[in-house]
């Protein structure tokens, strides 16, 4: 499926990150997909040296070990999102965050159990043309723009606990932001 037949995902950027969502054991995706068929068709969890930018945000040394969770999300048969989450390996060692299935509520619920509940998020949105690998993994032509969402999750002490770098097929998304004045 693709092209004209695909109904874009309306990404409810505020509601999906509410504690009421993941704190109740639901996926942050449940706010977006309205009962559609979502599959995470690949999950790769590795431990790597932190890249410079990630280390800076997480306030760890460059090259210090991070747990990296790479996933591809497929909606109604169409790849729509590539995601890579970075968390300090020392923080998440021995938890479900280091396994493909993080359990109910996902990574944020597990961070809450560690006493590092995310209470604030920051997202930055950019756009560009996809790399060759991104084109292949998202099944889009090289001329289809992608959106990049960089999200940082902060705990109650204001410390970053996760950095999530997402690559979205721009033709598959509407980004919605609703907030109080």
Domain that holds residue 90: 3-174
Range name among 32-36, 64-68, 135-139 with the lowest pLDDT average: 32-36
Please report the beta strands in the chain, taking only residues with DSSP state E, as ranges in sequence order: 9-12, 38-49, 65-75, 78-88, 120-128, 146-154, 160-169, 173-176
Mean pLDDT of 66-86: 94
Asked, for residue 112, whether it belongs to a domain, the answer is: yes
- Give the pTM: 0.85
Asked, for residue 181, whether it belongs to a domain, the answer is: no
The total domain count for the chain is 1
Asked, for residue 55, whether it belongs to a domain, the answer is: yes
Reference 118, options 82, 149, 87; nearest CA is 87
What was the pLDDT predicted at 8? Answer: 75
What is the per-residue pLDDT across 17-65, written as a single tens digit (0 to 9) for each? 555 554 555 555 555 666 677 888 999 999 999 999 999 999 999 999 9
Asked, for residue 180, whether it belongs to a domain, the answer is: no
Asked, for residue 143, whether it belongs to a domain, the answer is: yes
Asked whether 144 and 128 are in contact (CB, 8 A), the reply is no
CATH number at residue 34: 3.40.1410.10
Asked, for residue 86, whether it belongs to a domain, the answer is: yes
Encoded tokens for 57 = 């945000």
């Amino acid at each position: 499926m693709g092209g004209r037949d695909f109904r874009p995902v309306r990404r409810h950027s505020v509601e999906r990150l509410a504690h009421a969502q993941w704190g109740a054991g639901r996926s942050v995706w449940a706010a977006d997909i309205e009962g559609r068929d979502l599959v995470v068709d690949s999950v790769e969890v590795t431990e790597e040296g932190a890249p410079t930018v990630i280390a800076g945000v997480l306030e760890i040394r460059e090259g210090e070990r991070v747990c990296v969770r790479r996933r591809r999300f497929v909606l109604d048969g169409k790849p729509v999102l590539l995601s890579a989450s970075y968390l300090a390996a020392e923080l998440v060692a021995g938890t479900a965050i280091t396994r493909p299935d993080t359990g109910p509520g996902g990574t944020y619920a597990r961070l809450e159990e560690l006493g590092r509940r995310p209470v604030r998020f920051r997202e930055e949105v950019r756009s560009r043309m996809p790399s060759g690998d991104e084109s292949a993994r998202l099944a889009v032509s090289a001329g289809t723009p992608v959106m990049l969402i960089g999200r940082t999750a902060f705990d109650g002490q204001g410390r970053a606990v996760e950095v999530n770098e997402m690559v979205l097929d721009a033709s598959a998304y509407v980004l919605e932001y609703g907030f109080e004045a």
